[in-house]
Structure 1
């Protein structure tokens, strides 16, 4: 069974606190039904079992939630006094050399646990190291790596963010922050973390950091492309009308119905229709305009020939596979966009929806 996440452990601690409140006299018997409902809701939502004593003990350790909160209240009450303390007083509270040495030993044990893929033990060992040396960027970064390996990406992100705050120059923290954000679906945040890491590394960054940045960047570009395509009428199967008889041109409906161009290639939409009647095609003013656009715009021709769908069509045709299904081909938004440009979109005929080529 996968190790419990930080939030699951907290959920178990809350359930334990609620149960204890019924038995220690904090709540009356009349409250039992309401508390039972609350415990069941928490358990179901966080996928934990409050009846599992082993899991509860692992979650709360030697102190229950009430005891932990009591410590927090004491710390809170002394915050103002601590914030106004002298720098000498502050330095006296730094870990001793003995505590640092013990923390380093715990970190080394955590590293061995990571090598053995014992991620739960590694997290515990890094946590012990941090209890002796709080805010250590290396310990936080290492625990972030352990959380990522255990697929607790939210905890990994929190530790990585704390690590880069504590020491922005410790670049592994940026790398682990980039990984955690990417795993959580935040590709832009991931790209930014890797970018920061590259800046702090200097000299253009390490290969690993640059690879992480490029991976996140590609994902951002994919998301942006999906967002653009979702707003493209052709990508949603929308169409307009056109008369594709030679000499007829487009109707007043705007963009032509590109799927009906299949009839010009072999008469039945491709496949087994054989070679098209090229003379008939070029007598059509619409296709003549397309050919003229291609010949006068080398970049458009290059883009056309680099389209993988068109290259696949050409290969299949050259191998005797017959003409392709033009109706399916023209559903490709990239090919539809090129066709729109060649047939007057953005040129003399205006953009789609402005009347089109007449």
Structure 2
């Protein structure tokens, strides 16, 4: 009883203004924590961009590149960020921010962050060389040229955007989205960077995100027919992705059966004796027609069984070709394939 009275006395003696002040302090603390988390995400995003740039510099061996890619994946998982989070991008590369901080705080004599006229001229030459390689479909050489141009002029959004196009042609869609992020960070009004981001995201089957970027591109360039066409394609693919049949196939069957590599592989699979027996049995049932009674059900079962057997044979014989065909179909599905480079 005495203990209860002490508690009541303590509560009644407290100043109500103190409680309000404490509540406000707690609210401010919560807002600070939210802002801090947002800053940490942007910092992590910049670090990931820096690491991606290092993988393109050409100075690392395969083991070192793999280590950086693992580090990128760990950072993205830890901070819950992805290459499509372009709202986290900052205008300046992390290296520039670091150098500017050193200049300001340590009074060090460092080279100017802006490239010299000679570097700008050489970077433009390298960009043009990269564009020529793109026309000749030498996409790896194009990536090298654009990377060298970036090394000379870090602030040119065009170089990143062009390299994104080259990466997309090679099927390196993650690298392509990373370059588009950097281009948008440097120049948020650069419509082509949004358009190419949309293409890469569509190829990665990230249709809602792709639609968002195509719409942003159209806001900046409303009369661009390429963006309009690619937006319709992404919207259509999003609808198809919700279909159980489309989700099961994972790709456009009409495009696939017209592919010469697929036809050659299918012909090889059809030599399999089990597949031939299944197909022969289906044909026999079909000839029997209505007289086969409930044979229609067995026809459907045989068709499903044959399809499963066919798919297994293809997967076992050449799984790499299936993935190549998917990438080929995706990359050829967009009107952006004929897009001019800056």
TM-score (normalised: structure 2): 0.43
Query: Which has more radius of gyration?
Result: 1
Q: Which has more helix, going by share of residues? A: 2
